[in-house]
Amino acid sequence: MSVLDAPVASAAPAAPTTGLTPIFVRLKLTLLRNGLRQSSGRRAVFIVSLVFTLLLAAGQVLGLVLLRGNGDAGTVVVLLTGVVALGWAVLPLFFPSGDDTLDPTRLAMLPLRPEPLIRALLVSSMIGIGPLFTLCLVVGSAIALAHGAAGVVFAVLAVPLTMLLCVALSRAVATANVRLLNSRKGRDLAVLSGLVIAVGIQFVNFGAQRLGRAGGLSTLEPAGDVVRWLPGASAVASVDAASDGAYGTAVAQLLVTVAALAALMWLWQRTLVRLMTAPDGSTLAAAEPTREKASGRGGLAALLPEGRTATVMQRSLRYVARDPKTKAAWVTALAVGAIVPLLNAVQGTGSVYFACFAAGMLGMQMYNQFGQDTSAFWMVALTISSPRDAYVELRGRAYVLLLLTLPFTLLVCAVTAALIGDWRSLPGALGLSFALLGSMLATGAVASALFPYSIPQEGAFKNVVPGQGGLAWISILGGMVAAGLLAAPVIVPTIWMHVTDRHDALWLMVPGGLVYGTLVGWAGLRIAARRTAARLPEILAAVSKG
């Protein structure tokens, strides 16, 4: 009997799903292991990140344990847990992530049922540095509040429930926003949502500062009374209630978390089914008519210098205007860079030097310049045959950053000085901002050449490919520390003039900071150009992994 004569089954059997959770756990571990095997640098960065996280978690646990028995422990722990839960909902969307399973559209072609898939994703999401830190914090919170047998029982229930809720909340929010961030028309809305969240976080921060100054931790009790009934913190709050003998309140708070977890799982499942069965944004966008624009040197392009510099600047400006991730980074940097000094000034507690925060936030955009090119960097690499070519390429990118940053920094410094009424310190703030900006241009260019990393274009919530997340954080944080050290020759005289009451000489910091920042930036670009020209294959390999 031939194959064609064989009987045809009425329906294909469903894929076995009983062992799906172990498969996803092994997949997560394999992705992590393979990412670390690619280079010794990644292993070193991962180990440093893990050690730093463990030290920070140990400090958090120790601080929470020391709060045990304190009258304000319940308020502090509940608010801290609520902030952590909020972070789980927000931070994975706008900060680097190396989780390759965060975008569920990668699993759309697999014959998987929703319920086992949700369970497998939930369990596999518990693996990582972030969940480990959260687990330590939640365990420390439970230890700080648990007293007596009833408190211990509720603590045993609260810890896993809080962990499950945080992970489910993160997954549900991420899945619900995949289509938004992947669709052509929704990218600007995604940028707006990132801006709103960044602004909201700053308002919460300043509100907490004001409450703390008003009367200590006791003024936070009304906020704690509200947060302890919210799902993110209600499970931990039930431990406090059970320790005080309020068993009815403890059970009710625990049920709030259970109900929220069930609702999140249901919402996550519905969103996941709709996401994996409906046409995606790229399919819909492909059917839309395309519009071609005439090319030519018109508008802003006519004002740019001729040659390669103009080409590089136009390309970088298009990234800022059109690439969703580059646009989101710039919008968030502009918003946060203005909010921090201006809100402090409005509250009457700020300083003109807080305006330097704007230069620092925008200076961070110089880091990983080649990562935004992704695999298209090969076209840039073909045009670089000498350190001179690399220098012109980096200089054009730096010009774009200066074109957007300098007017913004001047405006923020002037408005901050006007709100505070401290015009004498304005020259010092301007000079310090110029020096800091030049230092960040230098360190950013060098970091772009020595520590490039890939920015995935497909994943809506990933800014770093798996295995490079720690490299990105260490590169940026190390560059910021180095920039601060490079700006020390301007920072020290500015402090000395304030300490010795020589405010009349602060105007010297404006030309001094401008000249120093220019020289440092020029030197950094020169050094980075030589390294870039010598490492073109390595840079291309690093930025093409997404």
Residues 382 and 236 in one domain: no
Q: The tokens 């259970």 sit on which residue? A: 258
Instruction: Report pLDDT digits (tens) over 247-302.
Output: 899 899 999 999 999 998 888 888 888 777 766 555 554 444 444 444 445 555 66
Looking at the fold, whether 85 and 145 belong to one and the same domain comes out as yes
> At 89, which amino acid appears?
A
Contacts of 214 (CB under 8 A, 6+ apart): none
| DSSP H or E stretch at residue 187 | helix 187-215
What pTM was estimated for this model as a whole? 0.56
Q: Do 314 and 256 have their domain in common? A: no
pLDDT in tens, 236-253: 989 988 988 888 998 999
pLDDT given at position 290 = 46
3-class DSSP assignment, residue 511: helix
DSSP letter assigned to residue 158: H
**150 and 70, same domain (yes or no):** yes
Residue 37: inside a domain: yes
Of 420, 201, 242, 209, give the one whose Cα is nearest residue 332: 201
Claim to verify: residue 228 and residue 360 sit in the same structural domain: no
Do 415 and 502 share a domain, yes or no? yes
Q: Per-residue b/e over 26-59, b at no fewer than 16 CB within 10 Å?
A: eebeebbeebbeeeeebeebbeebeeebeeebee
| Residue 299: inside a domain | no
pLDDT at 343 over 70: yes
Is 90 exceeded by the pLDDT of residue 524? yes
Q: Which amino acid is at 527?
A: I
**Summary mean pLDDT of the chain:** 79
pLDDT in tens, 102-139: 566 677 777 778 788 888 888 888 888 888 888 999 99
| Domain assignment present for 5 | no
Number of structural domains the chain divides into:
2
Counting DSSP H helices and E strands in the chain, the numbers are: 21, 0
Give yes or no: residues 370 and 438 share one domain: yes
User: 315 and 271: one domain?
Assistant: no
Same domain, 246 and 381: no
Same domain, 188 and 316: no
Residues 355 and 478 in one domain: yes
Tell whether 20 is covered by a domain: no
Token pair 């000085």: residue? 417
SS3 8: coil
Measure the CA dihedral 34/39/40/44, to 10°. -70
Which residue type sits at 509?
Answer: M
Domain span holding position 329: 307-543
